[in-house]
């Protein structure tokens, strides 16, 4: 069975081939779900130091791990180098209070391959041979200011002279519930070094909270010549994990060490979560069960196989194998079928990606495949019952009263009851979904797994996630925050990706988004004048001040970007309705509602805000936010926020074509549009008409007319402003050196910052004041392609502005795509711009062969910044290399 055949046989989330995958989080500690404090300090409530000894409530974490899609049974790789103070079971990173400001884990690993059904997966973890410098990293970060680079693991010298093991883990499914696992460690250092490989299997703790007393069991045995752990679970049934060779089997319980952490006299369980690590590292004899040869353990809930290599020579590789099999397993687990399965699944992965990425150089195809692999690894089990989280568990003391205050975190989202696999922005830094991130993820997902892409977009609209009032949850930190409304856009991209377009999917998501669109209209258009507010809108510190916070003295923000997002949302809903109306005339009326709504928003934007000022500034040829207030007597005072940022480029996104078939097949819609244009001639400025040689008419709806659009594009392609060698900057480089902006009578500084943020706004963990971000760049690429398609090459731009080099909009889109993709490709000097000055930029092939997909990129140098494994929306590079769904 090929990967394409497996996908065809797996249309639903519960399809057998989707049962096991990389759904185990890379970090569960420090998440909102595990935070039961009164002050909302999620990073501090359950810290990295506690994670080894404290049972999680809602999920699990591990290195190179998998679990079932329900998150019950987990397998991951642990290791010890003989020098670390603790067993290496999970990745380490710093919290904000410890000096973190780039959202970067202090470890190195790379997802190197994977298929959509997870029939084949491979990743590499780089493990130092010296003691891991936990304290040194904390001390260095505490000393570093925001103007200094954040210290990384390589800065400590622990990786010098290549003194590390590369631990490569591959997962190959022989069947839906038969998984072959190979763990191979290579000593790249100059000297022999010890290594302990400790693959672990354990159950998520569901039994100590007072809600479900049923307890699963793991029994480890070396009887009958088999080295195995048998796992019994009330829902999963029985599984057997076979271990090759004769490792020492260790068994403990996945329970909190309450005596060590909280001073309890006696632990409820004799063996606790840290028992295996304490036994291996500290030699604690009674910390866990040690299974005698030929014997078996008592039931536990966490087990490990301890492979000990006392001296691995330079260049030597050591390998261990295990196999997860449903039922009782079998004696030939490591027979010829094991290696045959691994080889076959790798060949099938090659065949699959040869059909997905069919153009470009070998290196471009490799980068696209790596981006897809990293994207597939962002799929994680996400479980969160907000009502239970707020109430606390019967077996534990009630939480602080502050958790139930009217404005406490997520107190108004008690309906949320999630237990699904969701695509996460970053497998370590963001082990929780974010609404607009997930929408962008689904565009590359549509090229490799359209069924999953459709399921995810529908999932976010389901009643256990969408608020009863129609709001989509933003992200775990505060579900009630607002992300840009890009869900409809993503649904259209997924719809266009399939040759046999799924109108049932489109209708299902459209009906739910009707509720969400109404929420926006009712909640974010406070004066009913088609002008929208949003506050945060995902772009963190892009403004001189926090746009979600009150300004004082009666001043209020009137946001250009919020109104532009809503204009685009209306057009996307119109396009969905038009597609559905081709087969069901009932949708034709709804399409007219959205075209009218768009035209009303567009008209309102020409006399934006309470003072009747437009978002468009004729002198500057750009769009700005406004701040306004009502004076005594009713007069309105207003002023633009003259900062050229991505906020002013977003009106370009509010455009959509009306193809000839619309006027031929949908006369009701065409008639209503003509009626609107006759009754309100001012609406005509937002339509551009085209008649082809056969007399067929088409139209382009756009928030900006062609003259304004050209002026904005002129700034966008100006290398002194937005155009960088690596994409479109989020803030104009013309603000290099800084400026003072008057807002509500106060002067606020803002400066072009191409790299990491130097301000603490929104935690200071990301920066929209200059870097290149993939999601907005990808939208701009698509806009340029749309202009090319409608105007048939008639729209041209200078690229760069002032160069005299005139190109069509489509050629500009291709050039922008080339610059973005080039971030991950070797340049003339053989180095990737995204590697910057990091250790990946060294000449050593041990580093240079690995590609890292970062959260955002320096607006001048292209260096990757922020979260290291943001292969979520940065996986859009695969779309640029493989081709947009609608254009393939």
Q: Which pLDDT tens digit goes with each residue over 337-382?
A: 999 999 999 999 999 999 999 999 999 999 999 999 999 999 999 9
Contact (Cβ atoms closer than 8 angstroms) between residue 806 and residue 794: no
Residue 392 vs residues 172, 388, 404, 524: alpha-carbon distances, Å: 40, 6, 11, 33
Q: What's this model's pTM, rounded to 2 decimal places?
A: 0.96
The percentage of residues in the chain with a pLDDT greater than 70, rounded to a whole number, is 98
- Band the pLDDT of 101: cuts 50, 70, 90: low
Contact (Cβ atoms closer than 8 angstroms) between residue 61 and residue 105: no
Q: What are the residues whose beta carbons fall under 8 Å from the beta carbon of 784, sequence distance 6 or more?
A: 809, 810, 812, 813, 816
Length of the chain: 888
Lowest mean pLDDT among 75-79, 91-95, 102-106, 208-212: 102-106
Distance CA 281, CA 850 (A): 31
Distance CA 474, CA 478 (A): 7
Residue 700's DSSP bridge partners are 657, 688
Q: Is the pLDDT of residue 104 over 80?
A: no
Report the SS3 class of residue 477. Answer: coil
Residue 492, pLDDT score: 97
- Band the pLDDT of 628: cuts 50, 70, 90: confident
Distance CA 184, CA 789 (A): 50
In the predicted model, what is the mean pLDDT of residues 581-604?
Answer: 95
Lowest mean pLDDT among 93-97, 408-412, 526-530, 633-637: 526-530
Q: Is the pLDDT of residue 887 over 70?
A: no
- Select from 838, 840, 860, 862 the least CA-distant residue to 850: 840
Report the SS3 class of residue 138. Answer: helix
Rounded to 5 degrees, what angle do the CA atoms 754, 757, 762 make?
A: 135
Distance CA 472, CA 485 (A): 9
Q: Is the pLDDT of residue 888 over 60?
A: no
Q: Is the pLDDT of residue 334 over 60?
A: yes
In the predicted model, what is the mean pLDDT of residues 328-345?
Answer: 95
Distance CA 447, CA 640 (A): 42
Please give the helix or strand (H or E) that residue 513 lies within, else none.
helix 503-523
Q: What are the residues whose beta carbons fall under 8 Å from the beta carbon of 546, sequence distance 6 or more?
A: 761, 762
Contact (Cβ atoms closer than 8 angstroms) between residue 57 and residue 93: no
Q: Is the pLDDT of residue 118 over 60?
A: yes
The whole-angstrom distance between residue 738's C-alpha and the CA centroid of its chain comes to 31
Residue 611, pLDDT score: 62
In the predicted model, what is the mean pLDDT of residues 689-716?
Answer: 94
Rounded to 5 degrees, what angle do the CA atoms 710, 715, 717 make?
A: 90
Contact (Cβ atoms closer than 8 angstroms) between residue 176 and residue 16: yes
Contact (Cβ atoms closer than 8 angstroms) between residue 434 and residue 474: yes
How is residue 248 written in tokens?
């020492």
Residue 99, pLDDT score: 73
Q: Could you say which DSSP state residue 97 is in?
A: G
Lowest mean pLDDT among 8-12, 477-481, 530-534, 730-734: 530-534
How is residue 3 written in tokens?
């990967």
């Amino acid at each position: 069975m090929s990967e394409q055949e497996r996908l065809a046989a797996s249309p639903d989330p519960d399809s057998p081939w989707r049962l096991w995958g990389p759904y185990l989080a890379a970090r569960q500690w420090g998440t909102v779900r595990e935070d039961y404090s009164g002050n909302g300090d999620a990073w501090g409530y359950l810290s990295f130091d506690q994670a080894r000894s404290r049972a999680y409530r809602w999920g699990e974490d591990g290195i190179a791990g998998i679990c079932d899609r329900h998150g019950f049974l987990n397998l991951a790789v642990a290791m010890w180098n003989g020098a670390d103070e603790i067993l290496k079971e999970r990745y380490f990173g710093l919290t904000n209070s410890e000096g973190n400001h780039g959202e970067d884990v202090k470890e190195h690993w790379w997802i190197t391959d994977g298929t959509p059904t997870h029939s084949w997966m491979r990743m590499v973890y780089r493990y130092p041979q010296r003691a891991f410098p936990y304290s040194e990293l904390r001390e260095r970060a505490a000393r570093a200011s925001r103007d200094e680079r954040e210290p990384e693991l390589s800065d400590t010298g622990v990786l010098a002279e290549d003194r590390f093991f590369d631990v490569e883990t591959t997962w190959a499914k022989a069947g839906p519930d038969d998984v072959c696992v190979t763990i191979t460690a290579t000593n790249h250092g100059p000297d022999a070094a010890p290594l302990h490989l400790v693959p672990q299997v354990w159950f998520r703790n569901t039994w100590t909270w007072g809600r479900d007393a049923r307890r699963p069991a793991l029994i480890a045995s070396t009887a009958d010549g088999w080295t195995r752990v048998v796992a019994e679970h009330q829902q999963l049934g029985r599984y057997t994990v076979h271990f090759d060779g004769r490792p020492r089997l260790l068994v403990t319980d996945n329970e909190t060490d309450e005596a060590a952490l909280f001073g309890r006299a006696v632990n409820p369980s004799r063996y606790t979560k840290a028992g295996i690590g304490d036994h291996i590292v500290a030699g604690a004899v009674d910390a866990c069960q040690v299974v005698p040869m030929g014997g078996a353990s008592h039931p536990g809930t966490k087990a490990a196989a301890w492979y000990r290599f006392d001296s691995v020579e330079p260049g030597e590789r050591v390998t261990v194998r295990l196999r997860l099999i449903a039922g009782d397993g079998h004696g030939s687990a490591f027979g010829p079928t094991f290696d045959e399965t691994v080889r076959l699944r790798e060949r099938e992965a090659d065949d699959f990606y040869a059909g997905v990425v069919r153009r470009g150089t070998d290196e471009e195809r490799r980068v696209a495949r790596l981006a897809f692999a990293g994207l597939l690894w962002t799929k994680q089990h996400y479980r969160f019952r907000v009502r239970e989280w707020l109430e606390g568990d019967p077996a534990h003391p009630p939480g602080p009263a502050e958790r139930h205050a009217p404005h406490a975190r997520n107190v108004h989202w008690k309906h949320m009851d999630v237990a699904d696999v969701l695509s996460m922005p970053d497998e370590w830094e963001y082990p929780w979904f974010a609404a607009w991130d997930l929408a962008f993820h689904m565009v590359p997902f549509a090229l490799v797994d359209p069924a999953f892409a459709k399921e995810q977009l529908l999932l976010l609209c389901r009643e256990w996630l969408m608020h009863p009032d129609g709001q989509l949850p933003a992200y775990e930190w505060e579900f009630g925050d607002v992300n840009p409304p890009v869900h409809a856009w993503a649904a259209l991209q997924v719809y266009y990706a399939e040759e046999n377009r799924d109108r049932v999917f489109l209708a299902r998501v459209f009906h739910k988004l009707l509720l969400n669109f109404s929420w926006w209209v009712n909640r974010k258009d406070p004066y009913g004048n088609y002008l929208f507010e949003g506050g945060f809108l995902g772009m963190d510190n892009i403004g001189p001040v926090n746009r979600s916070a009150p300004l004082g003295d009666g001043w209020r923000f009137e946001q250009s970007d919020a109104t532009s997002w809503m204009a685009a949302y209306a057009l996307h809903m119109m396009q969905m309705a038009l597609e559905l109306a081709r087969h069901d005339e009932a949708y034709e009326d709804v399409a007219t509602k959205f075209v009218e709504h768009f035209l009303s928003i567009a008209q309102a934007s020409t006399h934006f805000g309470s003072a009747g000022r437009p978002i468009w500034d004729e002198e500057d040829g750009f769009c700005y936010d406004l701040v306004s207030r009502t004076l005594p007597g009713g007069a309105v005072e207003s002023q633009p926020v003259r900062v050229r940022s991505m906020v002013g480029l977003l009106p370009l996104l509010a455009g959509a074509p009306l193809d000839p078939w619309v006027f031929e097949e949908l006369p009701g819609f065409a008639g209503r549009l003509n009626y609107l244009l006759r009754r309100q001639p001012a609406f005509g400025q937002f339509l551009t008409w085209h008649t082809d040689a056969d007399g067929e008419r088409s139209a382009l709806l756009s928030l900006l007319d062609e003259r304004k659009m050209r002026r904005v594009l002129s700034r966008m392609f100006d290398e002194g402003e937005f155009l960088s060698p690596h994409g479109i900057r989020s803030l104009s480089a013309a603000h290099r050196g800084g400026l003072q902006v008057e807002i509500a009578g106060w002067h606020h500084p803002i400066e072009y910052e191409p790299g990491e943020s130097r301000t603490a706004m929104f935690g200071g963990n990301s920066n929209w004041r200059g870097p290149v971000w993939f999601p907005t760049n990808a939208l701009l690429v698509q806009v340029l392609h749309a202009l090319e398609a409608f105007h048939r090459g008639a729209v041209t731009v200078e690229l760069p502005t002032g160069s005299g080099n005139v190109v069509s909009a489509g050629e500009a889109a291709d050039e922008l795509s080339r610059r973005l993709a080039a971030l991950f490709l070797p340049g003339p000097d053989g180095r990737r711009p995204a590697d910057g000055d990091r250790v990946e930029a060294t000449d050593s092939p041990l580093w240079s062969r690995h590609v890292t997909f970062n959260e955002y990129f320096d607006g001048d140098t292209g260096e990757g910044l922020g979260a290291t494994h943001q292969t979520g929306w940065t996986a859009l590079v695969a779309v640029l290399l493989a081709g947009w769904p609608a254009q393939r």
